[in-house]
Structure 1
Amino acid sequence: MKILYHHRIASKDGQYVHVEEIIKALRKQGHDVIVVSPQLVEQSDFGSDGGWVSKLRQNVPQIISESLEFSYSIWVFCKLCYAIMKHRPDCIYERYNLFLPSGIWAKKIFQLKLLLEVNSPLYDERKKYGGIALNRIAKWSEYYAWRNADHVLPVTRVLASYIIKAGVPDSRITVLPNGIDPSLFYPSDEPNRDKEFHDKLVIGFVGFCREWHRLDQVLKLIASEENPNLMLLIVGDGPVIEQLQELARSLQLQERFHITGLVDRQNMPHWLNQIDIAIQPAVTPWASPLKLIEYLAKGKAIVAPNNPNIRELLSDDVNALLFEPENAESMIQKIREIIEDKSLRMRLQTQAHNTIKEQNLTWNHNAMRIERIFQENITQSGK
């Protein structure tokens, strides 16, 4: 098929990984994928926050920022129309965003089938964490996109419940979690370790660390354990790094605490090789965390919150240990159990890796499901 892939992501971060991997997997299946996206992201390095667009939105009143955001959808609609007339695609695949009805407009005018990938209930998320000025337009744009897509692809069943409440029938919803590329993410042996991590028991966190991740408690746990080979590795950055470094110095853990800073995507498998116990301290209630699936693929002993969306991937004492959400003491206790029980650690690591195959958590499998849904929708329409 010839697929028009449309997204409005301006930052090159974790969400862009999803975009890039789906496009790559669809092309691997033999499909011709035409991408319509902000030019800014194609020119950026991994880790970019959106450049001047992000700065503009931060420095103007919210009502102006949102008005510009909605107005941008008219420009995007023109780009989509041009791309459709030029390339004559068979269908449209769109990554949902707020204030973005453009794809639905284009699909209606050109009578094309549109699959809508949804990674977050953005109206609820933005209203909760940053507020919304154009409240009615924002909510309308979300419901309009969800209800008028031919099929909706949320990343979790929890997120699917939001879409069902918006009036989309369950028959037009397929849950499609994040995935991995098994040629890059697979278990590795101890010889793949860097010298400073060789023969160490490494607790690892991947991402942008903030206060609510409670990594200070992990450092205190390391200090309390009578195990000189126990370490904490942070693969990423964040606003609490300086405080954590200061705490490590006060606990005399400088040699047992390592921070990589921002890591290029191609180096992520290498850094995951250094980790034994991987922690997911917190998560939004609807997300399908990419790093969690990469932990599974790499065969890590995982500690994660006992949230409904996490239980879609993990089972307590089967492929992970789950702790009470927002309870640092519970998280630390689960980490301690894995530190002190080698057989438990090895069992969790083995079953974590097995989960990838059991749940088909790969980008190629996602691409095959997308292809199948497109074919079903196009066949039903008689085209």
Structure 2
Amino acid sequence: MKILYHHRIASKDGQYVHVEELTNAFLDQGHELKFVAPQVNEQSDFGHDGGFVSKLKNALPAFIYELLELTYSLWIFIKLVKAIKAFKPEFIYERYNLYQPAGILAAKLFNVPLILEVNAPLVEERSRYSGLSLKRFAKWIENYTWKGADHCLPVTDVLAEHLRDAGVDEDKITVIHNGVRQPFIDEMLATPIDLDKQQIIIGFTGFIHPWHGMDKAIEAIAEHKDLPLKLVCIGDGTILPELKQQAADLGIADKVEFKGLITRDKVLDFVKQFDISLQPDVTAYASPLKMFEYMAVGSLIIAPKTPNIEEILSDDTAVFFEKGNQASFKSSLNDAIVNYQNYIEKREAVKNSVIEKRFVWHENSKRVIEIANLIKSSQRK
């Protein structure tokens, strides 16, 4: 099929990974793609924060930046109109962003189906974390965009509830979680879990925030100095100097390693080594990309027991702790360390669940195509 792919991501981070993996899956299956999207992410390294756009957002008053976002949507509308006329797509696939009704307007103008991927309730998210000046207007735009799409793809059922509350019909909602690339899954399924390793690797990928409780992970490792443990963290964080000092003070500097930012093509090489993986915190509606990679390698996952995570994991496939309770997090990690050899069934089960629950980018792309075909079929009736 001919797919017009629209997104507004200017940073090269987890969002970009999602776009890259899904579009590669579309291309692998023979579909033709045309993008209406910023070019900056193609020219920058992984971890890039969006450059000029990020600086502009920090420099301007919130309401001015938000008005600029809406104005930018007019420019995007023109670009979409040109792309639709030239490319003649069978449907538009859009990654939802705030103040961006251009896709809906262009789709309606040309009667082209639009499938909207929703990764967050951005009015709520931006109000909470970065501030939102025109909140009521932003919510009206958000609801208009969600309800105007021919079909919405929230990444969790928790997130789907936000769409239902906004008035999106149930038959226009399909939950599609994030996933893992098929070749990596095939490689991992062909690789038995090794319980005889000389060193047990406890791993984490992502930005390390103070509330993650990584200091508790270091404390747990220090309580088991006699065991061949090593904590490997992939990613950055403002608290890394404090964590390094903590490890040194506890006499386990040799058991804690911070790799910093790693290029995307190298991250999975480290994840393959993880025997125990840490998901120390999670946004209530998120479908964490890294967790599916942890699952694919058959790692023993320590995760918060929250509704969105329980859509993905269960007591049979993970060791849970109480969200926001760092003592509970440390206790669960201690349990995993002490009972490491006894949790082989959880590790095998979590590895197999990636296939059983279709947490695969190629499967996601197939489901999108199925939905697009159903929309087109219903339009012809």
**Fold match (TM-score > 0.5):** yes
The one-letter amino acid paired with 2:262 is V
Report what 1:377 is aligned to: 375
- The residue type equivalent to 2:301 in the other structure is I
In 2: Cα distance, 1:189 partner to 1:355 partner = 15
Once the two structures are TM-superposed, the CA of residue 190 in structure 1 deviates from its matched residue by 8.2
1:360 matched residue in structure 2: 358
Distance in 1 between the 2:80 and 2:43 partners?
20
Q: Which runs of 5+ in 2 are unaligned?
A: none
Residue 181 (structure 2) pairs with residue 181 (structure 1): yes
Q: Which position in structure 2 is the counterpart of 1:195? A: none
Aligned pairs for 1:40-51 (under 5 A) are 40-51=40-51
Identity level (%): 44
Name the residue aligned to 1:308: 307
Counterpart residue number, 1:217: 216
Matches of 1:304 and 1:190, distance apart in 2: 20
Q: Quickly say closer, same or farther: Cα 1:263–1:189, change in 2 above 3 A.
A: farther
Q: CA deviation at 1:48?
A: 0.8
Query: Does the 8 Å CA contact 2:205/2:235 hold for their aligned counterparts?
Result: yes
Q: What is aligned with 1:299? A: 298
Aligned equivalents of 1:6, 1:299: Cα separation in 2 = 34
Distance 2:263 2:329 in 1: 28
Counterpart of 1:206, as a letter, is T
Cα deviation, residue 42, structure 1: 2.1
Deviation readout 1:260-289 (Å, 9 max, x if unpaired): 110111111110122110010000000000
CA distance in 2, matches of 1:121, 1:128: 11
Partner of 1:157: 157
Return the alpha-carbon distance in structure 2 between the equivalents of residues 374 and 225 of structure 1: 53
Q: C-alpha distance in 1, partners of 2:22/2:321?
A: 32
Question: Counterpart in 1 of 2:344?
Answer: 346
Paired residue for 1:202? 201
Give the drift of 1:189.
6.1
- Cα offsets for 1:195-253 (capped at 9, x unmatched): xxx61112111100010001011111111124241121111111110100111111111
Q: What CA distance in whole angstroms lies between the structure 2 residues aligned with 1:312 and 1:298? A: 19
Q: Number of matched residues?
A: 377
Does 2:244 align with 1:230?
no
Alpha-carbon shift at residue 63 of structure 1 (Å): 1.2
Q: Confirm or deny: 8 A CA contact 2:193 2:298 kept in the other structure.
A: no
The 1:226/1:257 distance shift into structure 2, 3 A limit, reads closer
Verify the 8 A CA contact 1:339 1:345 in the aligned structure 2.
no
1:253 lines up with 2:258 in the alignment = no
Look up the equivalent residue of 1:319 and give its one-letter code.
T
Tell me the amino acid that sits aligned with residue 3 of structure 1.
Answer: I
Distance 2:268 2:40 in 1: 27
Q: Secondary structure at the match of 1:227?
A: coil
Q: Is the 8 A contact 1:182 1:297 kept in 2?
A: no
SS in 2 for 1:131: coil
Distance in 2, matches of 1:189 and 1:378, equals 44
In the other structure, the counterpart of 2:121 is: 121
Conserved 8 A contact 1:99-1:137: no
**Partner in structure 2 of residue 14 of structure 1:** 14
Q: Secondary structure at the match of 1:361?
A: coil
1:137 matched to 2:137:
yes
CA separation in 1, counterparts of 2:352 and 2:184? Answer: 16
Question: Normalised by the size of structure 1, how large is the TM-score?
Answer: 0.96
1:68 paired with 2:75, answer no
> Normalised by the size of structure 2, how large is the TM-score?
0.96
Could you tell me how far apart the structure 1 residues matched to 2:248 and 2:26 are?
A: 48
Q: What letter corresponds to residue 11 of structure 1 in structure 2?
A: S
Task: State the one-letter code of the partner of 2:212.
Answer: H
Report the alpha carbon displacement of residue 87 of structure 1 after superposing the two structures with TM: 0.8
In the TM superposition, what are the counterparts of 1:252-331 in structure 2 within 5 Å? 252-316=251-315, 318-331=316-329
SS in 1 for 2:206: strand
TM-superposed deviation, 1:377: 0.2
Measure the CA separation in 1 of the matches of 2:339 and 2:247. Answer: 25
List structure 1 runs of 4+ shifted beyond 6 angstroms. Answer: none
Shift of 1:14: 0.5
Deviations 1:319-359 (A, max 9, x none): 00111111111111111111111343322211110110110
CA-to-aligned-CA distance 1:124-175 (integer Å, 9 cap, x gap)? 1111112211112211111011001000000000000000000011111000
Letter paired with 2:72: Y
Question: 1:194 maps to which residue?
Answer: none
Cα distance between partner residues in 1 of 2:94 and 2:298: 32
CA RMSD after TM alignment: 1.5
Measured in 2, the distance between the counterparts of 1:273 and 1:22 equals: 22
* CA positional deviation for 1:16: 0.7
- Residues 117 and 152 of structure 1 are in contact (CA less than 8 Å); yes or no, is this contact kept in structure 2? yes
- Paired with 2:234 and 2:320, the residues of 1 have a C-alpha distance of 22
Distance in 2 between residues matched to 1:208 and 1:189, nearest whole Å? 30
> What are the ranges of 5 or more consecutive residues in structure 1 without an aligned counterpart?
192-197
Distance 1:356 1:125 in 2: 28
Q: Distance in 2 between matches of 1:98 and 1:10?
A: 14
1:21-58 CA distance string (max 9 Å, x none): 11111112211111110122222221110011111111
Q: Which amino acid aligns with 1:300?
A: S
Asked if 2 retains the 8 angstrom alpha-carbon contact of 1:182 and 1:362, the reply is yes
> Bigger CA drift: 293-302 or 198-207?
198-207
Q: In the alignment, what sits opposite 1:334? A: 332
One-letter amino acid of the counterpart of residue 273, structure 1: K
